[in-house]
Amino acid sequence: GAGVSQTPSNKVTEKGKYVELRCDPISGHTALYWYRQSLGQGPEFLIYFQGTGAADDSGLPNDRFFAVRPEGSVSTLKIQRTERGDSAVYLCASSLQGAQDTGELFFGEGSRLTVL
Amino acid sequence: RKEVEQDPGPFNVPEGATVAFNCTYSNSASQSFFWYRQDCRKEPKLLMSVYSSGNEDGRFTAQLNRASQYISLLIRDSKLSDSATYLCVVNRDTDKLIFGTGTRLQVFP
């Protein structure tokens, strides 16, 4: 389909390992967001790209988390030295230009990360 | 204190009932407001925007009270298919959307 695609859908890893999560946004959407959602909580903002650049990375919890979007389309969220507290569903969303006016983000189905 | 606060529920209501959820936000600079719906183990989807004058979309009515910094969502004639988590969302003058914890609604026959 033409929606936001995220891979892998599930990832189980061991504490201390490195993880990459990929997001392929809707074609033509310049804005791309990463959120993470823990059980019983709402989505928590991590980072937002406008084109290739990170417009706002204020939600990244610490320097173990990093995200890139080198060609302004696909994005990768990278987590180093994973911790059990990183376990969550990582949601990617895209928007045609930005969410400020319409408030409409199109979310992918998420990547469920479990750190053992 | 969280920037967007909601009662997590669950709200258990019979079919046909009217149910209302409130949400409060702490930052008076917030400018835009929305309700999202999230089905169990699915991604969130935009339900409706919230305008200062209040707005209606079928059985759903959203209202904003800027003075008290709260937003409400009213659902009339509840259907089984309305069972979901309803997320209150705000943003300031940027493209970053801040989500509340969500309020879970369960409609029973």
Contact A72, A30 (CB under 8 A): yes
Q: Which residues of B touch A92 (CB under 8 A)?
A: none
In this model, does residue B80 exceed pLDDT 70?
A: yes
pLDDT of residue A1: 56
Q: Write down the mean pLDDT value for chain A.
A: 94
Q: Which residues of A touch B87 (CB under 8 A)?
A: 42-43
Give the phi and the psi of residue A102 in degrees, each rounded to 5: -90, -20
B58-64 LR contacts (CB < 8 Å, sep 24+): B60/B35, B62/B33, B62/B35, B64/B33
C-beta atoms of B102 and A42 within 8 A: yes
In this model, does residue A93 exceed pLDDT 90?
A: yes
Task: Summarize pLDDT for B19-31 with one digit per residue, the tens.
Answer: 999 999 998 888 8
Assigned token pair, B38: 């999230």
Return the residue of B nearest to A42 by Cα. B101
State the count of interchain CB pairs (< 8 A) between A and B. 65
Q: What percent of chain A has pLDDT over 70?
A: 99
Q: What percent of chain A has pLDDT over 90?
A: 91
What region does A20 belong to: left with phi over 0, alpha with psi -120 to 50, or beta? beta
Give the phi and the psi of residue B84 in degrees, each rounded to 5: 180, 180
- Name the pLDDT band for A116 (thresholds 50, 70, 90): very high
Is the Cα dihedral A48, A99, A111, A72 positive or negative? Answer: negative
Residue A75 burial by Cβ neighbours in a 10 Å radius (0-12, 13-18, 19+): buried
Q: Which residues of B touch A31 (CB under 8 A)?
A: 95
C-beta atoms of B95 and A56 within 8 A: yes
β-bridge pairing A10-13 and A111-115: parallel
Q: CB of B55 within 8 Å of any CB in chain A?
A: no
- Name the pLDDT band for A2 (thresholds 50, 70, 90): confident
pLDDT of residue B28: 87
Task: Summarize pLDDT for A10-53 with one digit per residue, the tens.
Answer: 999 999 999 999 999 999 999 999 999 999 999 999 999 999 99
Number of helices (H), then strands (E), in chain A? 0, 11
Contact A37, A88 (CB under 8 A): yes
C-beta atoms of A45 and B97 within 8 A: yes
